[in-house]
Structure 1
Amino acid sequence: MKKLLLLVCILYGIVPQTQAQTGTYKGIGTIVFEAGAPLSLIKGTSESANGLIDLETGKFRFDVPITSFRFLNSLMQERFNDKYMQSSRYQKATFVGRIIDKGPISAKGEAKVTATGTLTIHGVAKKRTITGTLVQSGNTWQLLTDFPVKLADHHIQAPKLSSGYGASTMNVSLKMPLSPTTPDPQQIAAAKKLSIK
C-alpha cells in the first residue's frame, strides 16, 4: 500500500513537469497591415491571429481569419473582403514552418529569430524567410515581427490609393503574446490510471 501511495505521489509530480517540458506555446495576437503614404493610407487590423509554436523543435503555425480585419472606412472593409481578398473563398492566411535560427537571449530578455516556411494568402503559397524578435517575461514570450508582402506574389489586385497609384506592397506587423500550453486533464488522468496499473 505504501508503494502504491508513493507511486501516485511521484506520478502527480512528474506528469505536469513532463507536459511543461514540451516547450509548446500558443497565443492570440494582433496583425496590422498598411500601404501607401500617410495621406492615402490603407490600414487593416485584426486581433484574431492564432499562433502555435514549439520552441524545442522550432515548428510553428500562425493563421488569421481574413474577415477579422477591421478598417476605419466600412467601404474599404467591404472591398477588401469582396474584391481584393475574396474572403468567402479564401478564409484564412497562414504561415507554417520552422525557426531555423534563434539568437542568444539578451539582458533585456530578447532573442532574434529567423523563420522559414510557407506563407499562404489568397490561396497562393509562397516560401518565405522572415525575421522577428522573441521577448521573454517569466515563463511567457511575446513575438514581434514586421515584414513586407508583395500583392502580386499572391495574385491580389493592387488597391488604388487616393493619389491614383496602386499599392503594390503591404507592410505587415505582428504582435503576439505566447503562453505555455495547458496540459490536457484527460491525458493526465489517463496517464495516471495507466501507470498505477
Structure 2
Amino acid sequence: MRSLFLLLLCLCCQCFSSLAQNNILKGTGSVSFAANGPLNLIKATSPSAGGFIDTRTGKIRFEAASASFQFAISLMQERFNDKYMQSSRHPRATFVGELVGVTLPLQEITQEVMAKGILTIHGIPQKRTIKGTLTRHGDALQLVADFAVNLQDHAIEAPKLTSGVAAENINVLVDMLLQPASKPVAQRQVTLHARRSPK
C-alpha cells in the first residue's frame, strides 16, 4: 500500500511539473549590438543569449554574458571587458519583468506588447518599459523589440569614436523565437542591430 501511494505521488508530481513546463516558452541564440556614430565602428556579437516567457503569468527574463561579446578588433574587445563593462565584476546583462496589457495566448497572429521590468547592465539596474511585438508561429512566439540604452544610466564610460565624439547611446533590436520548454529547443538567433541614436 505504501509503495502504491509513493507511486501515485510521483505521478502527480510529474504531472504538475509537466503542466508547469507547458507554460514556459524558451529561446537561445546570439545577440549583437553596435554604437551608431560617423563610422559605426563599435560592434560586437555574442553567440550565447537566452530568455523565457511564462505564458500563464506574463513574466519574462532575457540575459547575455558580458564576456561572450566578440569584436572584429581584438583591442576593442579587451577594452570592452576590462574598461567599459568590467565583465569579471558584472558577468551578465539581464532584463527581468513582465508583459502588461496583453493576454496569452495571443488573440491575433501579431500583436504589439509592452514589458515593464528591470534592465541591469554593468551591475546597474534601471526600471524600463520596452515596447515590441509578439508573433505566433504555431505553438511558438517570436519576440521583436527595439529600444535604446543610455550608457550613462548604467555608469558605463562612453567610448570615443574616431571622430572624437562619444557614443552615449546604444540602440538595439532584439529578435528571438521562443518555443515550449517541454520540447527540444534548437539554438536560435537573437540579433541586436544598432539604430541611429536619437538626437
Q: Is the 8 A contact 1:24 1:180 kept in 2?
A: yes
Aligned to 2:171: 171
1:151 Cα shift? 0.3
Find the aligned partners of 1:97 and 1:16 in 2 and give their Cα distance: 24
Percent identity (aligned): 50
1:37 Cα shift? 2.8
Find the aligned partners of 1:124 and 1:16 in 2 and give their Cα distance: 37
**Secondary structure of the structure 2 residue equivalent to 1:152:** helix
Read off the aligned partner of 1:58 and give its amino acid letter: G
User: Is structure 2 residue 14 aligned with structure 1 residue 36?
Assistant: no
User: Is structure 2 residue 102 aligned with structure 1 residue 102?
Assistant: yes
Find the aligned partners of 1:65 and 1:17 in 2 and give their Cα distance: 28
**Secondary structure of the structure 1 residue equivalent to 2:39:** helix
Find the aligned partners of 2:21 and 2:100 in 1 and give their Cα distance: 20
1:99 Cα shift? 0.4
- Farther off after superposition, 152-161 or 174-183: 174-183
Aligned to 1:57: 57
The correspondence of residues 120-135 of structure 1 with structure 2, limited to 5 A, is 120-135=120-135
TM-score, normalised to structure 2, is 0.77
Aligned to 1:160: 160
The 3 A distance-change label for structure 1 pair 40 and 176 is: closer
Find the aligned partners of 1:42 and 1:18 in 2 and give their Cα distance: 44
Q: Deviations over 1:89-122 (max 9, x none)?
A: 100011111101227644xx21211000001100
Aligned to 1:137: 137
Number of aligned pairs?
A: 172
Aligned to 1:25: 25
Structure whose alpha-carbon radius of gyration is higher:
1
**Secondary structure of the structure 2 residue equivalent to 1:39:** coil
Read off the aligned partner of 2:177 and give its amino acid letter: P
Structure 1 gaps, min length 5: 1-7, 184-197
Structure 2 gaps, min length 5: 1-7, 184-199
Find the aligned partners of 2:40 and 2:52 in 1 and give their Cα distance: 35
1:40 Cα shift? 3.6
Find the aligned partners of 2:55 and 2:38 in 1 and give their Cα distance: 37
The 3 A distance-change label for structure 1 pair 18 and 66 is: closer
Find the aligned partners of 2:58 and 2:74 in 1 and give their Cα distance: 39
The 3 A distance-change label for structure 1 pair 29 and 62 is: same
Find the aligned partners of 1:88 and 1:16 in 2 and give their Cα distance: 39
